[in-house]
Amino acid sequence: MGDRIITILACSACKDKNYAFQRGKKKDYKLEVNKFCRKCGKSTAHKESKQ
């Protein structure tokens, strides 16, 4: 309960914060996923970013 935190995914190329989602509080890993960035106009690696 109450363990939900908002995680921001930021484009590794332009640093734009494109995606936000909720997940648990455990932080044993660094999230990195390929997502489409509107600013770059293509899929780029998005990394977990501090708010």
Binding site for Zn ion (CB under 5 A): 11, 13-14, 16, 37, 39-40
Query: What is the distance between the alpha carbons of residues 6 and 43, in angstroms, rounded to a whole number?
Result: 22
Q: In the complex, what is the shortest distance from the CB of residue 30 to Zn ion, in angstroms, rounded to a whole number?
A: 18
Report the residue number, 17 or 27, with the smaller CB distance to Zn ion.
17
Q: 50 burial class (0-12, 13-18, 19+ CB within 10 angstroms)?
A: exposed
Report the residue number, 27 or 38, with the smaller CB distance to Zn ion.
38
Q: In the complex, what is the shortest distance from the CB of residue 15 to Zn ion, in angstroms, rounded to a whole number?
A: 7
